[in-house]
Every structure is written in structure tokens, then in C-alpha cells.
Amino acid sequence: MTMSNQKATEQPSAVPLEIPKGVKLLHDPLRNKGTGFSEDERQALGLHGLLPPRVLSEQEQASRIMENFARKPDDLEKYIHMIDLEDRNETLFYRVVVDHIEEMMPIIYTPTVGKACQQYGHIFQRPRGIFISRKFKGRVVEVLRNWPMHDVRVIVVTDGERILGLGDLGANGMGIPVGKLSLYTACAGIPPWQTLPITLDVGTNNEKLRDDPLYIGDPVERLRGKEYDDLVEEFVMAVQEVFPKALIQFEDFATRNAFTLLERYRDRVCTFNDDIQGTAAVALAGCYSAMRITGGRLRDQRFLFLGAGEAAVGIASLLTAAMSEEGLEEGEARQHCWLFDSKGLVVGDRTDLADHKKPFAHDLEGKTDFRAAVKTLEPTAIIGVSGQPNTFTPEILRTMADLNERPIVFALSNPTSKAECTAESAYRHTQGRAVFASGSPFDPVTLEGRTHVPGQGNNAYIFPGVGLGVTTSGARRVTAAMFFAAAKALANEATDEDLQTGCIYPSLTRIRDVSAVIATAVGEIAWDHGLTEKPRPDDLLSFVKSKMYDPTYRSYV
């Protein structure tokens, strides 16, 4: 395309925006290429003299980014380095992340993003996304219209009350939507101009933050009750008006709101909750893969969860559906899933149970010690989603090894500092027999000459592919069947070679291909269940791949 109309060739589904010239172009992160602008582009776009004379390729620029990345003294500085790049040159940012995904994911997302959120006001450089505070009540549509991109397809929204396992970080939680959407683009090719991070700044009950002079949010106590519900309702309905094709992902809301909001909106708008549904799907996929190692059947397993919040109930519910598919009655399948919360084993005669726990409250004498619960229930799998570090003690791990030839141990809490046990501990105290997965990454562990590669049950294996499937199919709703299909697709992508090392998930280096397969499975559900009006492609996988953003410089002349 020539510069006669000052428009550039764009990736699929891009909104054709006018290309600015000169300094304005260099300040546009979506189109800026820095020293990557060719001589012809520099002439046509008024860039001569504004850049060093030498033209560098995208790969040469990426090499410089990685060289400086390696010099940073710690992970938080590496995070700041990468976010600064994203603010200057999004294409180069995604090129680096895609090409170095295993090294970059722990920096731009968990665990480092947790540290970044804790320090967000102190490392803040440039705003990203939209902050919606209580003072905008009645004007949320107006606020959303301030966003310059109009074809938004994926929104990640948080109110910052339960950021990872770190608790209430208020408006500092914006690091989570920003990081999640970076993974939507890097892992599944959702075009960055179609994503929008949003924080509902409804205050914080974290007094330390409220007293911090550099806190970026409104330093008041959290909004509760009807006022909170009304603001969320206005936000959801405003999205339907301003961005009618957008998928809304609720992220890191406190348990009491997460279940309520999912039930309130799942049948009204295109939405899901990653902490409940995404975590469930990645855990179910890990269980399917574990069965390939142990040789068992899902319906014959007994699962004991340390934790009884969003993640635990989400996983237990999806496991129940999976075991029902293998022939168990739903009630019988639920009996295979047990929860253990801060007060002990969730049993039927407890009177203090929140509604979301009650379906998994079974008849048994209560236990207030997790190891005692393990001894009594004799689970084949323990799944940690408590946010309480080192609670899978050596004694508990040895008990699991006594009960099972190949005990399944999932320590899924994030960030790494919150993991229920380390990979080294899981393998060492089970004589290397554990089938282990964690939420945050751990290095391989070598015991008695054998190297064990821990699987990372990272939601990034699921939510980007689900989002890609929903957006490419035009699905009106996100359903439980989609997450079931996503879990099966992910499990099938773990190769025999992966499993031989003990890793129950495919390599992160394959994440874009895996996301395309998951998106295809999700799209099949959308068409099979009549959730879209789009014509069905003959080759859905090829269609999905054709819609994936590739972070490669485009020519402007």
C-alpha cells in the first residue's frame, strides 16, 4: 500500500488508522519501529534526523533488547525493562516475548508480576488501559469511549481485591490485566490493538497502600454492597454498548464476588472467570496427562484439595463433569472430590460453609489437620490452591508416597513464594515417584541420576486459546463445554517425550501451536452448539491460524 493515503498494511482484523508522521509516529507504540524504519519510510514519514542513521533489522533490535535484559540485576528490573519496551514498540516487545517465551513468561507474568503489582505505584511510568473509579458512576460509557481503539475483542478486568496469592492490592492490580493480555497476544496471537486492560478502582482495605503517598488508586476503603454491584453492572452493560464484540474476562476478584459475578453474567454476556474456569481446565488437563503416566482412570481417583475457594471449586466441578463423562453419576463423582479450608475438612455437618463449598461437603468426621485428612481419605491426588506456602510438608508427601505408587501432587498457588511445596521437595520426599505440577515455574530436579521436569500448570495454556476460539468463531457466550474441550485438547498436546520426563504439559515453546489447537476445539463447540452466526470454515484450524497476529514489522511504503 502506498503512502498516498498514509495507511499501512495491517494484520488481520486491524482497524485501519491513519499513520502519524515524525515524532508522533515514534511515540506511537503500535506502529513505532525505532531504528527499524527503512530509508524509504524515513523519507516518507518525516523521520530523517529523528533517528540514528543506521537501519537495524527487527532481529538486530531484539538482540540488543536481550543483551540489556541479561544485564538487569533482578527480575523486577527485567519486568520494568520489558514494560518500557512495550510502551515504546509493541511489535518488538512481542517479537522478543514470542521468541523467548520460556524466559519471558515468568517476567511479564507470574511470579514477577506479583512483585510488580506490590510496587506498582513506585515503578509506574506510563498508564496502560482504563481505570474506572466510583466517581465515574453514571459515566462509564463516556470513560470507555476515551479508549482510542474501537474494535476491542478481549477485556481483562480486575478490582484488585485478590491479586494472585498476595491479597488486596487495589488499583496496583492493574499489572494483572496488562500481563494477562500480553499473554493473549504472545501465546495466542490476539492482536494487541484488540485488547483492553481495565481496573475497577473501588478502593482498597490494604491500609499500607492507603498510607503510601505513591499509591496510584483512590486511597479509601473498598466499596461494598449495592453500590459495588451497581458499578459492576454499569461497567458490563457499558462494554456491550461500546465494545459489543468483546469477551470479558474477570480476573482476581475475591471469592465472594467471583462466583456471584460469574453466575450473574455468564448467560447474559460473553464472559468467563479465569480463576474458576481457566484454572479448572489446566488442572483437568494435567490430571488427564497424569493418567497416561499412572495408567489409571480419572473415575477411580480421589482428589483432596488444600483450599476451598474459586480455584478449588472450579477444578472440583470440572473434575466431576469429567468423571461423569466416564460413567459415574454426578453425586458419586462429587464424592471423589474433597475440600480442606482454613477450618479443616469440608464436611456435611459444618454450619459455617459458604454456598460454593456446599456441593462438596460430604459425610465424614471432620479433620482439622491436613495430614490426618490425607491418612483418612487416602487420596491419589492432592491439589494445592490455598496460597499457603510449604503446607505440603515432607511428612504429607511421604504419606502420599506410602499410599500411592505414583502420587499426584499439584502445588498450584501463585506466585512461587506461595507454592504449597517446591518441585525438589515433591520429588525428594516421594523418592522421585510424584507426578508433580506447579502454578509457577520450577527448575528440573535431578535425583539419583534421573532428571525430573516439573510441569507448570499455567493458565496461559488455556485462557489465550479459549479467547482466540471465542473471538475467531464470534461466539456469543463462553460455556463450560468450551473449557472441557480446551482441557482435553491441552492434554492431547503433551507428547510421550514430555511424559517420560515427568512433565504433564507440552513445552511452552509450542504454546502458539497449542493455543491454535485449543481455539479450534473451542470454535467447534461454538458452531456445534449454535453460539455463532458466522459461516463455519471448511478447515477451522487453518482459519484460526490465519487470524493470529505475527509480531513482524510491516512496511509503511
Give the C-alpha separation, 306 to 355, whole Å: 18
CA distance 499 to 289: 8
DSSP 274-319: IIIIIHHHHHHHHHHHHHHHH---GGG--EEEEB-SHHHHHHHHHH
Q: Which of 184, 178, 22, 154 is nearest to 86 (CA)?
A: 178
**Active-site annotation holds for 427:** no
The string of DSSP letters for 13-45 reads T---PPPP-HHHHHT-TTT--GGG--HHHHHHT
- Which listed residue (78, 180, 488, 547) is catalytic? 180
| Strand, coil or helix: 271 | strand
The C-alpha atoms of residue 170 and residue 160 are separated, in whole angstroms, by 4
Burial call 92-116: b when 16+ CB within 10 Å, e when fewer: bbbbbbbebbeebbbbbbbbbbbbb
DSSP string over 232-268: HHHHHHHHHHH-TT-EEEE-S--HHHHHHHHHHHTTT
Residues 85, 86, 92, 95, CA torsion sign: positive
Active site residue 109: yes
> Which is the catalytic residue, given 79, 109, 215, 505?
109
Name the residues annotated as catalytic.
109, 180
